[in-house]
Amino acid sequence: MIPQENITGLILAGGRGSRMGGVDKGLQSHQGLPMALHALMRLSPQVGAVLVNANRNLGAYESFGAPVWPDTLADYAGPLAGFLTGLEHCETPYLVTVPCDSPLFPLDFVQRLAQALEAEDADIAMVGTRDPADPTAALQAQPVFCLMKTELIESLVRFTQSGQRKIDKWTAQHRCVLVAFDDAPAFANANTLAELQQLQNEKN
């Protein structure tokens, strides 16, 4: 089993928040606290260290008590830019990522990803969910919830330097395992103000 202290957690809070009117999603309130802080408090007990990837309001994120690093790629280059930033500053053999706008993910999800990654001798383990209305549906990958070996940094540097930005195209280059989670709503994220309002009614 991969020791918890060998895993660094990364909160992805570097987006533009375009679908929420350009606001900083990670700083929007959920039950009285910023969503990114919920994510950090949920992730911290599951890992050895935590980092935050943010591109604005850095002081607000630094007040959470974790190191904050902006993208090394320009122009809000998406989740892969966050992955790359995390890999560059990670000091452990493994990095696990979560988005800042998903405050309800399971308290054992890192452990389950780590077990699957080791059991399958994979490079990347990512969450897979099904539509709650159709339990027979194929697993849908949730690539921003993923555990990866930090040795993948060289591959990601090459990929992003070639101008590519799509997560699934990069992960397809590596040995991946999809880990089934039955509770799809636990991985819900708030991309819009309506989705943020819906989150307020969910249980932690």
pLDDT digit string, tens, across residues 91-118: 999 999 999 999 999 999 999 999 999 9
Q: What rounded mean pLDDT belongs to the chain?
A: 89
Q: Domain residue spans in the chain?
A: 4-199
Instruction: Say what angle helices 79-89 and 153-161 make with each other, to 10 degrees.
Output: 140
pLDDT category, 28, cuts 50, 70, 90? confident
pTM, two decimal places: 0.91
Does the structure show a pLDDT above 80 at 122? Answer: yes
pLDDT value at position 44?
98
Average pLDDT over every residue of 54-71:
94
pLDDT value at position 73?
76
pLDDT digit string, tens, across residues 131-162: 878 878 889 999 999 999 999 999 999 999 99
Average pLDDT over every residue of 67-74:
88
Q: Which residue has the higher pLDDT, 16 or 108?
A: 108
- The matching CATH number, chosen from 3.90.1210.10, 3.40.50.300, 3.90.550.10, 3.20.20.120, for 4-199 is 3.90.550.10
pLDDT value at position 29?
84
Does the structure show a pLDDT above 90 at 19? Answer: no
Using a pLDDT cut of 70, give the percent of the chain over it. 88
pLDDT value at position 78?
80
Q: Which residue has the higher pLDDT, 18 or 13?
A: 13
Token couple for 81: 């830019």
Q: Nearest CA to 87 among 133, 132, 152, 143? A: 152
